[in-house]
Structure 1
Amino acid sequence: MTNNEARENCEKSEECETIAIWRIEDFSIEEHRRFRVISRLQLHRGQGSYREAEIQAAQELGLSVRSIKRLVRHYRESGIAGLKRQPRSDAGQLKLEPEWQEFIIKTYRQGNRGMRCLRRSQVAKLVELRAAELGESDYPSRRSVYRILAPEIARKEQESKKRSPGWSGEKLELRTKEGIEIKIDYSNQVWQCDHTLADIVVVDSHGEPLGRPTLTTVIDTYSRCVMGIHLGMERPSAAVTCLALRHSILPKQYRADYEPQKLWESYGVPRYLYSDAGSDLTSSHIDQIASRLGITLCLRRRPAEGGIVERPFGTFNSEFFSTLPGYTTAYAKPHLGQIKAEACLTLEQLDGLLVRYIVDNYNQQPDARSSQESRMARWKSGQMVAGPLLSDREVDILLMRQNRRRVYQGGYIRFANLLYRGEYLSGYAGEEVVLRYDPSDITTVWVYRQQGAEDVFLARAHAQNLETECLSLAEAKAISRRLRETQREITNESVLMEIRDRLRFVEQLRSTDELDLPESEETGQPPKKKPSSPLRLYDYDQLF
């Protein structure tokens, strides 16, 4: 070999090495190995040792000599790119009949509508059953079914990851299912209502677990202020929605033992009620209420647009329920027994704590998108015109729970195993009347008489011997169940004694805890007991 030929081969080798370094990221390890072998083979080009080098290259790459010749030809024609594996002309094309492809995709889509969930392995089983029905032995394999469904599953996962950017700034627009756009400009313009199971277990008055209560909230869209709530053991229904709306529409008044430091000043009647399409919010009863109160019902286009009313649930769980005994989550099923053992709050106690948290904490905090003022302050500043203040009777006739009962002689009515008596009811003995009541306190019910399409208010009826007590419907049922188990007669007196025994038992526990308190570190004396508040009696007629 002459010096010029050696110099040319060296330059070619250097050039090849430069190209290899420059293009290495574009090639696989196998293709880069081919390049090194073929470039080394080119050094023997035109020499007697080329045949032996060709055979050695074929052995090193595990190919035939004929394949090596083809690679060398591609390398000379296209350079290093000629060493890349050429894709098949039919790559990515499914070799299945269009009927089978259509059946697989259609089956998967139909099996994942609504709340249903059909996995791809189940689709493969259905394909096998379909082939058996048609008497075909040549049908798509499980791997083919997976390849067909791969783009569909990827698209579904991408859809699930889509999120709304939320609302920022001073303007918000809502779009209803009918395509109507609502610009949010003031308070009490649009309310949103929704339900959720509270992440906490409550107990009855004797400490027996009742389960997780349902929390219903009504949120003002403009200020994100909580307008009203309802906490109860009933599952979401039109009646539960009505109780939450009643609490939102009327001014709030609470007993002294709730002890909120601030005032829950939000009330009124909204112009729009914006909700999902659940049966608890789209029933004919809700339509009648909305028509009587002048509220326009609007449905959300998509579930993702309910973040305004659903976001507070997460805040309540993380900031409030998680700090209380009996807190539970969806991942706590293995520890449910321990959670129920730790639960000690009754529904009434939890309701009082929740009211105080909302009034003194949540509504006093600024919303993340309007950090200049609190939710309550924004609600007050956003009022255009103070709406009409409805009376309790106007709201009761529309929103309170109802039952039909017959009036006994003397003006007595029996409801929830309790005996009620109301003034002026003796003249309606034998007639059927309508009772409206609040499940959180059934010691007083409102009696109506149906005349045509309307109900006319007659009187209030009070549970005999329970006028100064507070008794929920759930607690009354629990007391009745225990009295039946002990084969005792269920009367107002027995229910009253049950309540008094329970209060006496709780008072003894409190006094025992106070006596067991350690001595103060500063004075060495046991801490003083907090004086109990004097007993106050109320005249129900004066209260209303």
Structure 2
Amino acid sequence: MTLNFLGGIAMANFSIRVGATFDLDEVPTRISALHGTEQVLLQNMNTGEVELHVRQTLLEAFREGRIAATENGTEPLKNMEWDRPLEDLTTEVKKELLRRKHYVDAVYSGNQVFKVSELKVAILDAASEIIDENPPSISSVRRWISRYRASGNSIRSLIPRKDQRGSRKFKQSPKMLELIRDSIEEAYQRTPAATIKTMETLLAAKISRANSFLDETEQLKIPSRRTLFRFLHRVEVHDRVRMREGKVTADRKLRVTRAVTPVKDILERIEMDHTPLDLFLIDDRTWLPLGRPTLTVALDCYSRMILGYYLSYGGTSAAAVLATLRHAILPKESAVPAIPSLSVKNTWPCYGLMDCLVLDNGLEFLGTDLERVALDFGISLQLCPTRVPQFKGRVERVLKTINYSFAHQLPGTSMARMEKRGDYDPQKHALLTLSEFKHVFEKWLLDDYGQTIHRGIGTTPYAKWLEGMRRRQPMLPPSNAVLRKRIGKSLDRSLRHDGLSLFGIRYSCDLLTTVLRLHGRGVRVRVVYDPEDMGAVEVWPPHESESITVPAVDVEYARGLTLFQHQCLTEILHEKGQSAENPLELMKARIELAESIEDLMKSRKQRNRKLAARINGKTSSHPGREFEPAKTSPKNSSERFSQAVSDDAPQGKYTLIQVTERNGSSQ
């Protein structure tokens, strides 16, 4: 039974009596006769067929929810019944309900009919019992009794329905209502802070324009401001929020959170997403703040353990996604103790190929590189709808936990919003390098987050993962070499007599001769490369099941070189109009780039220092990497630290910390 806006429907009760109607297994049924106390004759109201049942059978069907009472074919009682629980009534309405019930009980008993004179006396006697100074009239009591009898002696029929008094329809014409609606829509499209005065102005202009096409007898009148307020009050909340803030915001604010997708085992569903880390990190050498890196996380939805992560200064990219996927699949090694006094007690047991990878619609997730890797390893990719983060709410929540419960508690935190900082300067208080952060982060991840009871799973993520491993052992690729060959960015290139070219770097080896002889010059091959090391690539010849590892022709130049570093070097040479294949010019460009990195690192602008960190290739995979101007033996640590505190070091806003021998302590 439902309650519409204009009236209610009498609530029907179920009873085993002759003439009672109900739905039995959604079939309209009527009790035709009762035989004794146990046998009931039922009639199918659609076909007219009759069937003998036992009373206990009907009662069991009612208990199982197979029976729903109907209205016995009578017309619904309008403006009478209240279908909601009686406790929802206001105190005033409850008081009036009890008053009416008192008068009905006092003058009505079964089918007894009172004379007018007797009824008046009975009403006055009932009024004196409850000290009612304004007793109801005889016609009111008769009306109450009539409704009470028609409803089957239901007390709900006596509830005063003051909420249904008056008309609920607008008195304006449909054309006027359309103009009002358009004016409100247009006002909110201009600005979410639209006022009623703006709506009045727009409505007046629309009415004036409409009247120019109407006869004098059909002219529209400008409604009052009160009419506009009433119209706004009648608009659904969702429509109001949609007009002010947009449909996406309205759907997000006015939605009921449903149960999350059930996950029954580890590695069944992995959610991946990015977030800017709310923490400033510093450079290992100059100790100047580099900025906020971007954190990419892969979360196991069953255990809530982080399966893998990747940290870099390059923002969101396909390379970051593939690096996170590689870290998630591989078994984890112990964190490098960048802070000797801080030890990680627990190992990281998470690894393995996942069944499903859940992603959003970021461009870094939509490329062919991730699709190719997923196809190779049998991983299903699931893309969430646009601007609906709740479809991967678990990883969204854990990213917030990382920032709020971890990053915000460290020196150098940028906080979630700038206004929350107050006088706190995060760059001035930044203390952790990338390698130190990696150590501290894995300490928190394994010894704090992993050992804290998670409300969503009822136990710790660490214990939940181990529990899942007892039912399912994670699967790995055939070898680490296979993983390296298949996880990477890929391009198609033509094979020539001198090998192949990738971003201006020439790659060649003797094994390519066989491919060239078999397929001919210009054959298209697939090249898989690692943007963090351009020293060698994997070449997949047509119709071959194995790839060929092909080193760069100038391997001394390309080994350990990131793609971004190479692009910077190429840009330097192109600006000078010089060839990128001249070894001498390349050496000069490397020296020039190294000097540019030094200048950027000494800059007072944080975005320049962050760019320097990106050029250096600092990531969670290579936290201490620095661009070398030449392929010579690296300087020892004492020379590097002495250079960092030399007289040529920057003396700006951030004073360099004096280091005697950096073994975990600084002064």
Match of residue 263 from structure 1: 347
Which of residues 98, 120, 126 is equivalent to 2:174? 98
Question: Relative to structure 1, is the Cα distance of residues 453 and 288 closer, same or farther in structure 2, using a 3 angstrom cutoff?
Answer: farther
Q: TM-score, with normalisation over the residues of structure 1?
A: 0.58
Contact 2:511 2:548 in 1 (8 A): no
Match of residue 406 from structure 2: 320
Contact 1:272 1:295 in 2 (8 A): yes
Which of residues 354, 361, 366 is equivalent to 2:448? 361
Which of residues 317, 333, 356 is equivalent to 1:272? 356
Match of residue 491 from structure 1: 590
CA distance in structure 1 between the aligned counterparts of 2:348 and 2:544, rounded to whole angstroms: 35
Match of residue 385 from structure 1: 472
1:200-257 deviation per Cα after TM superposition (whole angstroms, max 9, x unaligned): 3456676776654332211111111111112234444555433322221222346735
Question: Relative to structure 1, is the Cα distance of residues 269 and 132 closer, same or farther in structure 2, using a 3 angstrom cutoff?
Answer: farther
Match of residue 191 from structure 1: 270
Match of residue 322 from structure 2: 242
CA distance in structure 1 between the aligned counterparts of 2:474 and 2:557, rounded to whole angstroms: 39
Match of residue 253 from structure 2: 160
Question: Relative to structure 1, is the Cα distance of residues 365 and 421 closer, same or farther in structure 2, using a 3 angstrom cutoff?
Answer: farther
Match of residue 379 from structure 2: 295
Question: Relative to structure 1, is the Cα distance of residues 299 and 407 closer, same or farther in structure 2, using a 3 angstrom cutoff?
Answer: closer
Between the two proteins, the alignment pairs up a number of residues equal to 422
CA distance in structure 2 between the aligned counterparts of 1:423 and 1:255, rounded to whole angstroms: 37
Is 2:381 aligned against 1:332? no
Post-superposition shift, 1:448? Answer: 2.0
Question: Relative to structure 1, is the Cα distance of residues 447 and 348 closer, same or farther in structure 2, using a 3 angstrom cutoff?
Answer: farther
Contact 1:238 1:280 in 2 (8 A): yes
Contact 1:202 1:343 in 2 (8 A): yes
Identity level (%):
22
Post-superposition shift, 1:362? Answer: 2.6
CA distance in structure 1 between the aligned counterparts of 2:312 and 2:186, rounded to whole angstroms: 37
CA distance in structure 2 between the aligned counterparts of 1:436 and 1:336, rounded to whole angstroms: 49
Amino acid of the residue matched to residue 323 of structure 2? L
Contact 2:187 2:202 in 1 (8 A): no
CA distance in structure 1 between the aligned counterparts of 2:334 and 2:551, rounded to whole angstroms: 20
Post-superposition shift, 1:321? Answer: 1.4
Post-superposition shift, 1:303? Answer: 3.6
What SS does structure 2 have at the residue aligned with 1:266?
Answer: coil
Is 2:553 aligned against 1:458? no
Match of residue 540 from structure 1: none
1:96-120 deviation per Cα after TM superposition (whole angstroms, max 9, x unaligned): 443454566578789999xx98455
Post-superposition shift, 1:332? Answer: 0.4
Contact 1:464 1:492 in 2 (8 A): no
1:63-86 deviation per Cα after TM superposition (whole angstroms, max 9, x unaligned): xxxxxxxxxxxx97979xxxxxx9
CA distance in structure 2 between the aligned counterparts of 1:398 and 1:212, rounded to whole angstroms: 30
CA distance in structure 1 between the aligned counterparts of 2:289 and 2:177, rounded to whole angstroms: 53
Question: Relative to structure 1, is the Cα distance of residues 282 and 510 closer, same or farther in structure 2, using a 3 angstrom cutoff?
Answer: same
Amino acid of the residue matched to residue 537 of structure 2? W
CA distance in structure 2 between the aligned counterparts of 1:219 and 1:306, rounded to whole angstroms: 10
What SS does structure 2 have at the residue aligned with 1:386?
Answer: coil
CA distance in structure 1 between the aligned counterparts of 2:590 and 2:276, rounded to whole angstroms: 33
Post-superposition shift, 1:129? Answer: 6.1
Most deviating of 492-501 and 381-390: 492-501
Q: TM-score, with normalisation over the residues of structure 2?
A: 0.49
1:406-440 deviation per Cα after TM superposition (whole angstroms, max 9, x unaligned): 9999989776x9x787765896999887664445x
CA distance in structure 1 between the aligned counterparts of 2:235 and 2:275, rounded to whole angstroms: 32
Contact 2:408 2:415 in 1 (8 A): no
CA distance in structure 2 between the aligned counterparts of 1:293 and 1:106, rounded to whole angstroms: 54
CA distance in structure 1 between the aligned counterparts of 2:664 and 2:282, rounded to whole angstroms: 27
CA distance in structure 1 between the aligned counterparts of 2:382 and 2:326, rounded to whole angstroms: 19
Contact 1:206 1:502 in 2 (8 A): no
Counterparts of 1:525-540 in structure 2 under 5 Å?
A: 530=663
Amino acid of the residue matched to residue 325 of structure 2? L
Match of residue 487 from structure 2: 399
Post-superposition shift, 1:311? Answer: 1.3
Question: Relative to structure 1, is the Cα distance of residues 456 and 96 closer, same or farther in structure 2, using a 3 angstrom cutoff?
Answer: farther
Post-superposition shift, 1:186? Answer: 1.4
Counterparts of 1:379-458 in structure 2 under 5 Å?
A: 379-383=465-469, 384-390=471-477, 391-402=479-490, 424=510, 436-439=528-531, 441-442=532-533, 444-449=535-540, 451=542, 456-458=547-549
What SS does structure 2 have at the residue aligned with 1:314?
Answer: helix
Contact 1:187 1:222 in 2 (8 A): yes
Match of residue 252 from structure 1: 332
CA distance in structure 1 between the aligned counterparts of 2:398 and 2:658, rounded to whole angstroms: 37
Contact 1:403 1:436 in 2 (8 A): yes
Post-superposition shift, 1:320? Answer: 2.1
Is 2:294 aligned against 1:214? yes
Contact 2:351 2:474 in 1 (8 A): no
Which of residues 387, 392, 397 is equivalent to 1:306? 392
CA distance in structure 1 between the aligned counterparts of 2:173 and 2:485, rounded to whole angstroms: 64
Structure 1, unmatched stretches of 5+, are 1-24, 28-74, 80-85, 167-172, 175-182, 517-527, 533-544
CA distance in structure 2 between the aligned counterparts of 1:414 and 1:513, rounded to whole angstroms: 42
CA distance in structure 1 between the aligned counterparts of 2:375 and 2:187, rounded to whole angstroms: 39
Is 2:231 aligned against 1:148? yes
Amino acid of the residue matched to residue 473 of structure 2? A
Counterparts of 1:105-116 in structure 2 under 5 Å?
A: none
Post-superposition shift, 1:271? Answer: 1.9
RMSD: 5.5
Question: Relative to structure 1, is the Cα distance of residues 414 and 188 closer, same or farther in structure 2, using a 3 angstrom cutoff?
Answer: closer
What SS does structure 2 have at the residue aligned with 1:256?
Answer: coil
Question: Relative to structure 1, is the Cα distance of residues 529 and 248 closer, same or farther in structure 2, using a 3 angstrom cutoff?
Answer: closer
What SS does structure 1 have at the residue aligned with 2:628?
Answer: helix
CA distance in structure 1 between the aligned counterparts of 2:401 and 2:467, rounded to whole angstroms: 24
Question: Relative to structure 1, is the Cα distance of residues 482 and 510 closer, same or farther in structure 2, using a 3 angstrom cutoff?
Answer: farther
Match of residue 226 from structure 1: 306
Question: Relative to structure 1, is the Cα distance of residues 78 and 314 closer, same or farther in structure 2, using a 3 angstrom cutoff?
Answer: same
Question: Relative to structure 1, is the Cα distance of residues 457 and 466 closer, same or farther in structure 2, using a 3 angstrom cutoff?
Answer: closer
Amino acid of the residue matched to residue 264 of structure 2? D
Amino acid of the residue matched to residue 487 of structure 2? L
What SS does structure 1 have at the residue aligned with 2:588?
Answer: coil
Question: Relative to structure 1, is the Cα distance of residues 515 and 459 closer, same or farther in structure 2, using a 3 angstrom cutoff?
Answer: closer
Question: Relative to structure 1, is the Cα distance of residues 452 and 151 closer, same or farther in structure 2, using a 3 angstrom cutoff?
Answer: farther
Contact 1:215 1:229 in 2 (8 A): yes
Question: Relative to structure 1, is the Cα distance of residues 314 and 241 closer, same or farther in structure 2, using a 3 angstrom cutoff?
Answer: same
Post-superposition shift, 1:305? Answer: 4.3
What SS does structure 1 have at the residue aligned with 2:324?
Answer: helix
Post-superposition shift, 1:149? Answer: 3.4
Question: Relative to structure 1, is the Cα distance of residues 342 and 307 closer, same or farther in structure 2, using a 3 angstrom cutoff?
Answer: same
Contact 1:411 1:421 in 2 (8 A): yes
